[in-house]
């Protein structure tokens, strides 16, 4: 139920700036509106091990020092996320997610969506959190 409320908050704010427009503002305010608790720093709930547990829409993902690199026959695309927090909006497959976030990419400091595939992380780490009452 909390995850569904987090998703609803993000959907209600697409194209709008939440808080100061920082990435973590979206997660923090979505959790608060959903009635979830968090530590006020970067512990957005209970840690989820994606190798042992299912990841659900409404979970929060935090990236630290991440470099993603996807290479095709004709090009290489790189994306860096030194510190970034997003809401998992959809689980497209194992390690493949549609993210709701702000202060990232084409949406700037407003809420928007993008896709990510964890298999392309070549550096850094990520943590997934499940909202808790």
Provide the number of structural domains found in the chain: 1
pTM of full prediction above 0.75: yes
Q: Which helix (H) or strand (E) holds 33?
A: helix 23-34
Residue 12 has pLDDT above 80, yes or no: yes
CATH of the domain at 25: 3.90.1720
Q: What is the pLDDT of residue 40?
A: 84
d(CA 133, CA 118): 28
Q: What is the pLDDT of residue 77?
A: 92
Q: What is the pLDDT of residue 108?
A: 87
User: What average pLDDT does the segment 39-56 reach?
Assistant: 93
pLDDT digits (tens, 9 = 90+) for 55-100: 999 999 999 999 999 999 999 999 999 999 999 999 999 999 999 9
User: What average pLDDT does the segment 116-123 reach?
Assistant: 96
d(CA 125, CA 65): 7
Q: Which of 104, 54, 56 is nearest to 83 (CA)?
A: 104
Give the domain range for residue 38.
2-130
């Amino acid at each position: 139920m909390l995850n569904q409320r987090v998703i609803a908050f993000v959907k209600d704010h697409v194209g709008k700036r939440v808080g100061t427009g920082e990435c973590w503002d979206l997660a923090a305010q979505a959790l608060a509106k959903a009635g979830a608790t968090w530590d006020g720093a970067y512990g957005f709930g209970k840690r989820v091990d994606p190798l042992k547990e299912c990841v659900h829409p409404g979970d929060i993902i935090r990236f630290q020092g991440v470099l993603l690199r996807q290479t095709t026959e004709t090009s290489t695309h790189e994306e860096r996320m030194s510190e970034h927090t997003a809401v998992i909006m959809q689980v497209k497959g194992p390690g493949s997610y549609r993210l709701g976030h702000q202060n990232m990419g084409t949406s700037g400091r407003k809420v928007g969506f993008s896709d990510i595939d964890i298999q392309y992380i070549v550096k850094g780490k990520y943590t997934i959190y499940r909202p808790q009452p």
